[in-house]
Amino acid sequence: MANPSFSTHLGMVDILPGEVEKWQFIESRIRDIARTFHFREIRTPFLEDTGLIARGVGKTTDIVSKELFAFERGDDRYVLRPEGTASVCRAYIEHNLHLKGGVQKFFYMGPMFRAERPQKGRQRQFHQFGAEIMGSADPLADAEIIAFMVALYHSLGIKNTTLRLNSVGDPESREAYKKALVEYFRPNVNLLSDISQKRLETNPMRILDSKEPEDQVLIEQAPVITEYLNEESAKHLRQVQKHLDRLGIEYVDDPRLVRGLDYYTRTAFELSSPDLGSQDALGGGGRYDLLIEELGGPATPSVGFAAGLERLLIACDALNIPLGTQPELDVYIVTRGDDAKKWAFRHLKPLRDAGLSASMDIANRSMKAQMKEADRELAKWTLIVGDEELQTEQFTLRNMAESYEEKLHFADILKKLVGL
C-alpha cells in the first residue's frame, strides 16, 4: 500500500472515474429538465466577497458565523461560497439583468463550501444544483420552482420523499412572531440547550430547528407562525398550496419549518427522504423578496431552491437506481513489436477522427497484459497487430463479447466500425 504524503482535507472528497459517470448522468439529467422548464444556466465564481455572504445569508446564521472558509489577500476579503443564491443576486445586480425586463429563470450547479462536521451526506465541499426565479411575486413562481425541484427526483424514480411547506411571513409578521417566541421561551430559558439559549438572543426562530433532545418538548408546545401571518402572507401561502394541488405535487404543511438562512420571506420548503439517514434534506428553498434590494439592487421579488447532489446520489444508491455506467471503449489496438506499435499509434487518429473511442498500450506491456487492459476498459473490439499483419495488411479484428475474429484491411475495419 502506498503511504501518501498528502491527502484531501477533512470533508473534501475526490470523485474518481467509476463515480464520475454517475455525476455526469445526473448533471445531464438536470440540464435536460432545466431545458424543459426553460431555466438558463448561470455560472458565478467560487470566491465571493465576505461582505456579500454575511449580508446575504445573515450574520447570525451558522453558515456565516461558524462555517465560512474565508481569507484575506491585500485589501480584499474572500470567502468560498457556501451557497449560490447570494452570488446569483450579486450577478443580477452587477450586470443590470433587471433591464432585460420580465421574469428571469436561472439554474446552476457546482461546488459549495461549508466548514461543517463531516458525516454521511454532509461534506465541507459539496455540490448543489439550484434554481432562482427573479422578478415575480406571484405564487405561480413558487409553484414553478417547486415543480422544477421535484421533477428531477421523480424523473429518477425517487418518489418516497416528503415536501414540507411553510410561510415564514414578511418582516412585519415575523417580528410579531419572534416577539411571541421570545415571550414563550424566556420563562423556561434554563431548560433550553446552550445553543438555543444563545439563539433566543440572536435568532429565536432558529430554536425551532434545534435537534437537541432537551429542546424538543418546549418546541412542540411553541406558538406557530401560521397564527402570526398577516393577511397578505397567509393568502400567498394558500395560493401556493392551491397551485401545488393542481400540479398533483403532494406536500405537508409544517408550521415549524424554518430554514438555516436569513433571507427568506413568506414561502419556505424542504424536500426530505427517509433513505438519507440523519441528514435527510434533499433540498430546500423559498422566497426572498427583499434580498436583491438589500444587496443594493432594485426591488425584485424572487424565489429559489438548491439541492445537494451528494444526497441525491445517496438516495439513488439506497433505492438501487442505476445511474451512468463506465463508458465502453470502441477499439483497443493490441500490438506485438515496435513496428506494430508505431503503426497503431498512427492509426488511432483515423479511428478517433471517425468518432470512435480508441486506445492502445503506451507502457510497453506484454500482449497478455494488453488483452487484460482491453477487458478492463470494456473494449468492444480489439485490433491485433504484429509483423505478419503489417506485411499482409490484414489485421485481426476481434469482437470481445462474442469472441469471434476476422481478418480485414484497415479501411474495411474503419468502415465496419463506423457503420455499426
The continuous run of DSSP H or E covering 110 comes out as strand 104-113
Smallest separation (angstroms) from ligand HAM to the CB of 171: 17
Dihedral over Cα of 141, 205, 255, 309: its sign: positive
- What residue has cell string 484491411? 409
Mark residues 248-277: x for contact with ligand HAM by CB under 6 A, - for none: ------------xx----------------
For ligand HAM, the closer CB: 159 or 376: 159
Which of 58, 135, 169, 283 touches ligand HAM (CB under 6 A)? 283
381, three cell numbers: 473490439
Which of 286, 335, 347, 379 touches ligand HAM (CB under 6 A)? 286
DSSP for 58-91, written as a single string: -TTSHHHHT---EEEETTEEEEE-S-SHHHHHHH
Q: What are phi and psi of 271, to 5 degrees?
A: -110, 125
Smallest separation (angstroms) from ligand HAM to the CB of 125: 8
Distance, CA of 111 to CA of 113 (rounded, Å): 7
The reply on whether position 135 binds ligand HAM by CB under 6 A is no
The continuous run of DSSP H or E covering 181 comes out as helix 171-185
Binders in 21-50 for ligand HAM, by CB under 6 A: none
Which of 48, 62, 132, 330 touches ligand HAM (CB under 6 A)? 132
The reply on whether position 280 binds ligand HAM by CB under 6 A is no
Which of 39, 92, 126, 410 touches ligand HAM (CB under 6 A)? 126
Nearest to 306 by CA among 9, 25, 139, 87: 87
- What residue has cell string 494488453? 370
Nearest to 315 by CA among 125, 118, 162, 142: 162
110, three cell numbers: 457546482
Which of 93, 281, 321, 367 touches ligand HAM (CB under 6 A)? 281
Mark residues 61-90: x for contact with ligand HAM by CB under 6 A, - for none: ----------------------xxx-----
Q: Are residues 252 and 146 in contact, defined by beta-carbon separation less than 8 angstroms? A: no
Q: Are residues 88 and 44 in contact, defined by beta-carbon separation less than 8 angstroms? A: yes
Number of DSSP helices (H) and strands (E) in the chain, helices first: 15, 16
Distance, CA of 314 to CA of 206 (rounded, Å): 27
Choose the binding region for ligand HAM from 70-78, 305-313, 333-341, 366-374 (rule: CB under 6 A). Answer: 305-313
For ligand HAM, the closer CB: 146 or 307: 307
Q: CB neighbours of 191 closer than 8 A, spacing ≥ 6?
A: 214, 218
The reply on whether position 343 binds ligand HAM by CB under 6 A is no
The reply on whether position 130 binds ligand HAM by CB under 6 A is yes
Smallest separation (angstroms) from ligand HAM to the CB of 199: 17
Smallest separation (angstroms) from ligand HAM to the CB of 302: 8
For ligand HAM, the closer CB: 204 or 285: 285
Which of 56, 204, 255, 284 touches ligand HAM (CB under 6 A)? 284
- What residue has cell string 458565523? 65
Q: Are residues 333 and 346 in contact, defined by beta-carbon separation less than 8 angstroms? A: no
The reply on whether position 116 binds ligand HAM by CB under 6 A is yes
For ligand HAM, the closer CB: 158 or 333: 158
Q: Which residues pair with 126 in a beta bridge?
A: 112
Give the total of residues touching ligand HAM (CB under 6 A): 28
Q: Which residues pair with 128 in a beta bridge?
A: 110, 308
Choose the binding region for ligand HAM from 133-141, 308-316, 330-338, 391-399 (rule: CB under 6 A). Answer: 308-316
Which of 305, 343, 381, 410 touches ligand HAM (CB under 6 A)? 305
Smallest separation (angstroms) from ligand HAM to the CB of 179: 26
Q: Which residues bind ligand HAM (CB under 6 A)?
A: 83-85, 114, 116, 121-123, 126, 128, 130, 132, 260-261, 281-286, 288, 304-308, 310-311
